[in-house]
Structure 1
């Protein structure tokens, strides 16, 4: 990928993430921002599980969507905003762990459409375990009132 379009890309991603009430509600934190890559971490919470005690697929999808989207935002021009227009998730293993790591990385940057790939890992005893993967398609939004970052 090219150089960052803005020296503020980390600040823009952090500011936008801070406005996502859903991330705060589920206890997710933005822990790493690089050009074209972000990481979000979240502790296990019984309140976010399905009937078998695994992290619910909807929660996995929500956080991976944010990871992919913020990776895309990091490579966008400063005056643009990001919106997801499509994603596909593969649930690879039950979501069991003490913590979860969600990593989004830009696979294909573009001026209007960006593709990002995400991976979710369960962290507990032993090595981190890959539990889900996502491919997301994100739109670069320009000139829409009320959409910022």
Structure 2
């Protein structure tokens, strides 16, 4: 699969996720071992102090981690992840950049940096790390 066809495929998957569509998330880069998701900040995504709600930042990191893992595993789900919030997410756009750190046949460990862009400057607002599993390797009830 070419990089362009992988990106197009990833965009189709994102459009099929109702929550991602509701938020307006965009996949801007998707290649083996890497994924970048962006989200335009709007008032509905903020909390009472005026910065983006932590749940939105966490969602973006989680989805980027899973995209990065899925780029090497195929259809994937998050097994676990941890996030550290570094500073308030204040800006016009959020961008989550995820990479695969290590992977095997059914599992990948990925890392993600989430940036808030304000006045053209990128500000690191969160770091996340997660374990992504191939969907066919997960137990079904």
Structure 2 residue 79 is the aligned partner of structure 1 residue 82: no
Q: Following superposition, which runs of at least 4 residues in structure 1 exceed 6 angstroms of deviation?
A: none
TM-score (norm 1): 0.84
Structure 2 counterpart of 1:35:
32
User: Equivalences for 1:33-72 in 2 at 5 Å?
Assistant: 33-72=30-69
Structure 2 counterpart of 1:16:
13
Give the CA RMSD over aligned residues. Answer: 1.7
CA contact (8 A) 1:10 1:74 kept: no
Superposition deviation, residue 104 in structure 1? 1.0
In structure 2, C-alpha distance between the alignment counterparts of 1:139 and 1:99, rounded to whole Å: 29
Structure 1 counterpart of 2:105:
111
SS of 1:89 mapped into structure 2: strand
More helix by share: 2
Q: How many residues align?
A: 136
Superposition deviation, residue 33 in structure 1? 1.1
Q: Which runs of 5+ in 2 are unaligned?
A: none
Structure 2 counterpart of 1:147:
none
In structure 2, C-alpha distance between the alignment counterparts of 1:24 and 1:74, rounded to whole Å: 20
The equivalent position to 1:135 in structure 2, one of 129, 132, 136, is 129
TM-score (norm 2): 0.88
